[in-house]
Structure 1
Amino acid sequence: MAAENRAFVGSIVVAGAILVAGSPFLMGFLQKWESGKARVLVVYADPLAGGLPTVCNGLTRHVTSTPIIVGERWTDEQCDAEERSAVVAVQKRLAPCFKRPPSQMVFDMATSHAWNLGPAATCGSGAMTAWNRGQWTLGCQRIARGDDGTLVWSYTCKTVGGQRQCTFVQGLANRRADEAQTCGEVL
């Protein structure tokens, strides 16, 4: 992605702090975990998301109103525009959950978590509870692990025959560990 496309998107007020919306660091972090070295430009049915049509760096119907149809080819320019817009929309839903001003890195990693799991999950998480008490390091740790040290947010779940079945996904555990470490690096 060209540097100018990753440039400053704008600002967003979070608990009185002015933070960069769609920061270049965040956009690169999302690409790392959603697509790897190159964006996915052909819409695919994401097996971890129950076949949800996905493109670019994790764009789905949950973050954009633009139709996403399996097999359709997108351009880098389409991805740039839709990703920026979708990230800012997620951040606007996430911002009111913070009762204290976070650092840019905490906000970026909370956004990555929300991008992957939804703003409601991030807002209701143990990480957000800790951050709102001013426990920044603990909040960052809680992105990946519960207070008892168990891995959290590293499973994909579905209901089969009325029973909820969850499967551990190493890639999600790796992403959570990276978010937690990156979140805490500047504290």
Structure 2
Amino acid sequence: MSPALRNSIIGALGTGAIGIATVMVSGKTGLEGREYTPYRDIVGVITVCDGHTGSDIVWGKRYSDKECDALTRKDMQRIAARVDLYIKVPTTETQRAAIYSFAYNVGATATINSTLLKKLNAKDYAGACSELKRWVYAGGKKWKGLMNRRDVEYEVCTWSQK
């Protein structure tokens, strides 16, 4: 994890899991990397800002930092609301933030149906965090960027276990 991202995450501690997860994925130091104009990601999905996808993206538009921040906050709140319904055990804010970051990347449905969530709900917290490292493929290929992302999510997920 870069020192800048670590410092941003530490600065977000106490803001709740959504606040931490939003810092994890957004801006210039976040896991997503900010792109101001829409593009197709590695599997062909139209994406903008910090990984925002959806039919509301205007192809060719240049988004501002303010617009990107708002999209990321809204997306993270939506992801958290969906995933929270399926988390049945107590978690720390860093565990939950790592899960939100993961769900932001792979989607709420994949997270809800994952072994990660099954292990979490069985109170196998270490096992749940370890599951993050299995999700490093996109389009059938292993990606260094996903490996790096999962390393950060794993580190944040296990902060409370040390």
Q: TM-score range by the shorter chain?
A: 0.7 to 0.9
Aligned residue number for residue 20 of structure 1: 16
CA distance in 2, matches of 1:81, 1:178: 23
Q: Specify the SS of the correspondent of 1:44.
A: strand
CA distance in 2, matches of 1:171, 1:45: 16
Aligned residue number for residue 105 of structure 2: 116
Of structures 1 and 2, the larger Rg is shown by 1
Matches within 5 A, 1:96-115: 96-115=85-104
**Match among 18, 32, 35 for residue 34 of structure 1:** 32
CA distance in 2, matches of 1:27, 1:103: 16
Aligned residue number for residue 52 of structure 2: 59
**Where do 5+ consecutive residues of structure 1 fail to align?**
1-7, 9-18, 145-151, 158-165
Q: State the aligned residue count.
A: 146
Q: Which runs of 4+ in 1 moved over 2 A?
A: 19-22
Identity rate, percent: 28
CA distance in 1, matches of 2:23, 2:159: 17
Q: CA deviation at 1:140?
A: 0.6
Paired AA for residue 75 in structure 1? S
Aligned residue number for residue 161 of structure 1: none
Counterpart contact for 2:18–2:100, Cα < 8 Å? no
**Could you say which structure has the higher helix fraction?**
2
Q: CA deviation at 1:21?
A: 5.6
Q: CA deviation at 1:94?
A: 0.4
Paired AA for residue 32 in structure 2? E
TM-score by length of 2: 0.82
Counterpart contact for 1:21–1:88, Cα < 8 Å? no
**Could you say which structure has the higher strand fraction?**
1
Q: Which has the higher contact order (CA 8 A, sep 6+)?
A: 2
Q: CA deviation at 1:71?
A: 2.3
Shift in alpha-carbon separation, 1:102–1:153, aligned structure 2, 3 A? same
CA offset digits 1:5-34 (Å, max 9, x no partner): xxx9xxxxxxxxxx83631x2222102210
CA distance in 1, matches of 2:25, 2:124: 25
